[in-house]
Structure 1
Amino acid sequence: MNAFNSSLSPSYDDTTTLLPGGRARRDAERSAIRTLLNCYLREVAIPGGTLITSPGAHILQTLPLGWRQKQRSQRWLLIDLQHSRQQLMVAVSRHTLLGNYRYAYPVLGRSTAGDGAAWAELDAMQMTTWLVADLCDAEGMPFNLEFTQQIKLSLENTANILAHRLQHPPGTDAPQDLYLFSEQSLAFGHAFHPTPKSRQWHADGAEAGYAPEYRSYFQLHWFKVPRTLLRCETVEPLSPTQLLADIAPADIWTADDECLIPVHPEQAQYVLSLPVTRRAVESGTLEYLGSAGDEYAATASVRTLYNRDTPWFIKGSLNVRITNCVRKNAIYELETALALNSRLTEIKADLQSQHQGFRLLEEPGFMTVQLPGLDSADNTLIQEGFGVVFRENINRVLSDGEQAVMAGALFQEGNPLRDAVRIPNKALWLQHYAEAIVLPMLHAFFAYGVIFEPHLQNTVICLKDGLPSGVIVRDFEGVKLVDSRWSDADLKELNDRARQSVRYSFTQGWNRVRYCLLINNLSEAVSFLADDNPQTEQQLWLIIREVISAYLNSTENALAREHLTALLNGEAIPSKTNLLVRIKKHPDRQAGYVYLNSPFAIAKH
């Protein structure tokens, strides 16, 4: 077996006798190494000039002889950790433009202090400690133990997921619901996120009970609320009465002046732990009913829940830190979802008429609880704790014969959908996909000042007859509006905090579009389809270039022509700093960008 067919596939030192637990641990270790190296190389080593892609013979001669001989046909990467006076060495299949390397394991490390030391194998957490220590030294800050612990938690969760998968394989039959299967297939997570499976649950056993990778179903928990204390807002033609009727379990009776509001089972325990909630329950203002109604499954975001037979996804607050964020619905996010839904509905028809196959999942309603007599802090805890956004079910926008898969699962390392989605003609497949996603994203930005967030987890690919027939964009939390196109008067129903959150400058928006579309999404699609073949990779980038060029040639928009011409001429492309924002302990919204060499600079030749 080629050690570089997959960076999570067996390499030279593997045996065929590993037990499932050992295999799961090995692959989780490699995944943790891979994601952290990916982030470090792209965000730090390449921009900072500390990555040596052709180490000299005097360096290679210091490597362990047996290891060097095993990897003699490969390329080498030497990473110089200047602040801590250490070095890392890893073998890769080839050099790549955007840092999508295929690694051979293990990674070696040594100290360069004094006379130096011999190379030694590093496991995932040893490598993590080295890299985090060096980055913290560079920033002049103490060692970031919290971040290191989150990497370890992500590794442990990944190992448990993989062990569960080995003990409960999905079988050979095609999944009954391919869309849900894809949502539950992100065993490793995004390849350029340092803690893709870090979830800091409050209750023991919650990961196995509620994480999507375990393919479990569970009932929602319900609270009975006086109608006067339920804040339920909708966008026409949906009415609050219809929304309440759509979600209410048939087996719970309510009086005419009462309503029901759902929460995630884990969130129920959180809100019940709040003194303000306990007082409301003890006084009879709220009534906790426990679990009831239809069963739901978690999607890849963990907190957004799906039942194929109901009208709505349920995106409830979940006060659990997942990767870098506590996944609650802030009050302003509830309000902006409705405002954005109204604005996007106005342009959706034009986008769909010009770009067939493009679809949005609308978010036309939210609800939460408003208790009387609360101070500002308790009011925020209650409204955010109970906040729920209702998103259109994906099955309402698919046409006959179409299937849907989440892009992140399709392009993931290890290809969990290999048996369900076959791609015999990679060039033709990517041509259809690029046309489906690139054209409407560019048109929305340049024609309307709408900044979608088409990263891998937000993008759902529609498939018909084996080819992409469209894309579905979801989650209005990530949608922004260009401030030069959308004035305060255009968003007058929003307060200052909400308007501030939703409006971006043109430059901010163009950075976000290029990062999400080209780096987060399409570069992973190209890496997956090319399968480490440089000629195929260049051919696929040329296809994407031609799709962008077609839009450029069709538009008279001056901004579009200026910025797309620069893009196709090879300007550097922004890539989000998922690692550095964590090192600095900043919220995710403060993440910056590094700029990568453009694949179009090569593809145009």
Structure 2
Amino acid sequence: MLFSEEIQRVFKSDTWTKVNKKLIGKMLSEYMYEDMIRPEILSENGEGIEYSLQVTDSKHYHYIAQKRLFDSFDVKWTTVYIVENGGRKEADSAIELLVDLQGGIGMSSETAGHLIKEMNSTLIADAHLLEKETKTSDELIHEDYATLEGYMTGHPWITYNKGRIGFGYDDYLAFAPEQQKEVQLSWIAVHKDLASFQSVEGLDYETLIAGELSEEDRIRFDKIVKQNGSEPSEYYFLPVHEWQWKNTLIQNFPEELAMGRIIPLGEGEDRYLPQQSIRTFVNRTNKDKHHVKLPMSILNTLVYRGLPSERTLIAPKVTGFIKGMAEKDPFLKDECRVILPGENASMNVNHRYYTQLKQAPYQYLEMLGTIWRESIYTYLEDGEQAITLAALLYEDHNNKPYVVSLIEQSGLDSEEWMKQFFKVAMDPLLHYLYQYGTVFSPHGQNTIVVLKDGKPHRLAIKDFVDDVNISDQDFPELQGLSTEFKAVLRTEPPEGLTQFIFTGLFICHLRYLSNLLMNNQMMEEETFWGLLADSILNYQKRFPQLQERFKLFDFFKPELTKLCLNRNRMVDYGYSDDDDRPHASEFGKVTNALAAFKINPTVGSI
């Protein structure tokens, strides 16, 4: 029987119980943060608070949690149990909790049904990760950037973070990043009447393809096109993901295949390793070659993982825009030495018929294209090591955090290490925001910390095509941008732009890092957030001429709009097939712990 060996190895009762219990703790923590559940306090004993969450007249979930800053909660997953009809039993099913919460949260049955599927897929992936013969954190701090990605556990906030709707179990085993299986990309030839090629200045199609494909591959592909009665010079060659080819492209482009406007070419020689986003690949045959980003029409976390056509088309221009700022700015170029892996080239293929529909579901407008991004390896100097920000949240099977191993290796104490981290991370992000009204979405996957001797050394920021936004204010630095350029990048009012860093970095990443350090007796959370506040204030002292912009983009407001990721799927958006990607839900306000440091920036002054 198919997969019987994998099932026997991974699907064990103790493993299944553990991953469910951990997910239950995460669900309770995040749903409390997003105000979807409001449990009753039974007792307080020091920092620990005993809660009771009533789900029916006769059923309650009991657990211990600790309050954290930013209105957050750390639910201790080992403490959760159920009281029902006067009896007590173990809480060991995340799906049971989801069903129990449906009425109270207000989920439709359609949403709850699809979410059960996503939750089960997430649990299966978590079980695989738990059973994986992994390395310790002490070993992983020496691991290569691309390989390290295969140990990550997914989005820290979203509870259905490995749902991957569209994948079969065979696809999971073949393509999930935690499986760490190298793949050879498939290639197709697309007639130039259908496809568009864009690139940065000085890079043409022929040069790009000569760098990405071997001479043998190019000769072989040319021969296939000629055998189909066509002229290779009339076609573009572009890679596609095997899953996308067999599940989306054949079914949606049969006319183009029948008429020879799209010609399958076979696999290229190079081998690639999928990264956490699943659709981005690092070349393992030659690590200096471009990283390749491909559309995959699977629904994962909140969106289909396609490539939006309008952003794919403009990606090289955005690269020129972002890099141009840094090249002319001594602070970014010479002091921060920020790394900006450019999206040097892109191809996009629109669908002939879906594009004619008014408000066509967005997934059908993102099916076929490619982005070639500069390899992070080409920027690294001797002694430098790149890791994604997400790696700092990793804990090994012995519960030792990766970041603790890094701090130990560095020879610094935890406060010195974090002080250095905040300077490295915040200076370039703040400068782009304040000086240029331009912001990245610096979450755990897009932000790369470059280490040297285990210490934060400089920052790399990637994924311009999806996650760069600009201010709607009339800044001279943004003058001259075309209306089309502004529309694609999206302009945001001041709080909207501030939210990319506040929610994307502080809420989506740093609150988990703070909690990790707190639970491992490495640092009090007041100290952690005080160091972050100091890094912002130190930047502001360095650039007093930007005072008015500090007021516009204010990280020290007592409250900011609370953006919610689980609520978006579970309550507001569900599984609608709309013409635009869903955005984070807004619900209430979040208390900003940084506000206490605005007047008195001394660490620990809360």
TM value normalised by structure 1: 0.82
Q: Which residue matches 2:366?
A: 384
After TM superposition, give the deviation of residue 223 of structure 1 in Å: 0.7
Q: 1:484 aligns with which of 473, 480, 484?
A: 473
Q: Which residue matches 2:68?
A: 96
The residue type paired with residue 260 of structure 1 is F
What RMSD in Å do the two structures reach over aligned CA positions? 3.4
The residue type paired with residue 381 of structure 2 is S
Q: Is the 8 A contact 1:449 1:485 kept in 2?
A: no
Q: Is the 8 A contact 1:361 1:393 kept in 2?
A: yes
After TM superposition, give the deviation of residue 284 of structure 1 in Å: 2.3
Deviates more, 1:584-593 or 1:461-470: 584-593
| Corresponding residue SS for 1:199 | coil
* Superposition map of 1:32-43 within 5 A: 32-43=23-34
Distance 1:365 1:85, change over 3 A: farther
Correspondence 1:125 to 2:91: no
| Corresponding residue SS for 1:105 | helix
> What is the distance in 1 between the residues matched to 2:116 and 2:25?
15
Correspondence 1:581 to 2:571: no
* Superposition map of 1:170-249 within 5 A: 178-187=144-153, 189-249=154-214
Q: Which residue matches 2:80?
A: 107
1:529-575 residue CA offsets vs partner (Å, 9 max, x unmatched): 333549632222222121111122222223344357x644x613554
Distance 1:382 1:120, change over 3 A: closer
> What is the distance in 2 between the residues matched to 1:73 and 1:358?
44
> What is the distance in 1 between the residues matched to 2:193 and 2:136?
47
After TM superposition, give the deviation of residue 474 of structure 1 in Å: 0.9
Q: Which residue matches 1:162?
A: 130
Q: 2:298 aligns with which of 320, 323, 326?
A: 320
Q: Which residue matches 2:324?
A: 346
Unaligned runs of 5+ in 1: 1-17, 58-71
Q: Is the 8 A contact 1:35 1:194 kept in 2?
A: yes
Q: Is the 8 A contact 1:484 1:505 kept in 2?
A: yes
> What is the distance in 1 between the residues matched to 2:346 and 2:483?
16
Q: Is the 8 A contact 1:360 1:474 kept in 2?
A: yes
* Superposition map of 1:538-557 within 5 A: 538-554=526-542, 555-557=544-546
| Corresponding residue SS for 2:80 | strand
> What is the distance in 2 between the residues matched to 1:101 and 1:374?
46
Distance 1:429 1:225, change over 3 A: same
1:504-545 residue CA offsets vs partner (Å, 9 max, x unmatched): 122211122211222223222222233354963222222212
Q: Is the 8 A contact 2:451 2:458 kept in 1?
A: yes
Q: Percent identity?
A: 19
Correspondence 1:29 to 2:20: yes
Q: Which residue matches 2:229?
A: none
Q: Which residue matches 2:605?
A: 604
1:246-284 residue CA offsets vs partner (Å, 9 max, x unmatched): 222433322444431101111111344325x22222222
Q: 1:571 aligns with which of 558, 580, 583?
A: 558
Q: Which residue matches 2:378?
A: 396
1:87-107 residue CA offsets vs partner (Å, 9 max, x unmatched): 321124x43224251504252
Distance 1:287 1:19, change over 3 A: closer
Distance 1:219 1:130, change over 3 A: same
The count of residues paired between Structure 1 and Structure 2 equals 555
Distance 1:179 1:593, change over 3 A: farther
Distance 1:544 1:148, change over 3 A: same
Q: Is the 8 A contact 2:304 2:363 kept in 1?
A: no
> What is the distance in 2 between the residues matched to 1:191 and 1:402?
26
TM value normalised by structure 2: 0.82
* Superposition map of 1:247-326 within 5 A: 247-252=212-217, 253=219, 254=222, 255-275=232-252, 277-308=253-284, 309=286, 310-326=288-304
Unaligned runs of 5+ in 2: 1-8, 223-231, 574-580, 598-603
The residue type paired with residue 114 of structure 2 is E
Q: Which residue matches 1:360?
A: 340
> What is the distance in 1 between the residues matched to 2:39 and 2:376?
44
> What is the distance in 1 between the residues matched to 2:31 and 2:354?
46
> What is the distance in 1 between the residues matched to 2:111 and 2:213?
49
Q: Which residue matches 2:106?
A: 136
After TM superposition, give the deviation of residue 170 of structure 1 in Å: 8.2
1:202-221 residue CA offsets vs partner (Å, 9 max, x unmatched): 44411111111111100001
Distance 1:567 1:79, change over 3 A: farther
Distance 1:427 1:594, change over 3 A: farther
Correspondence 1:436 to 2:424: yes
> What is the distance in 1 between the residues matched to 2:338 and 2:317?
21
Q: 1:494 aligns with which of 466, 484, 501?
A: 484
1:367-392 residue CA offsets vs partner (Å, 9 max, x unmatched): 13368899735999887322111111
1:335-372 residue CA offsets vs partner (Å, 9 max, x unmatched): 24233222212212225236424221111210133688
> What is the distance in 1 between the residues matched to 2:453 and 2:387?
14
The residue type paired with residue 261 of structure 1 is L
After TM superposition, give the deviation of residue 419 of structure 1 in Å: 9.3
> What is the distance in 2 between the residues matched to 1:405 and 1:393?
13
After TM superposition, give the deviation of residue 295 of structure 1 in Å: 0.7
Distance 1:517 1:19, change over 3 A: closer
| Corresponding residue SS for 1:78 | strand
Deviates more, 1:100-109 or 1:122-131: 100-109
The residue type paired with residue 273 of structure 1 is I
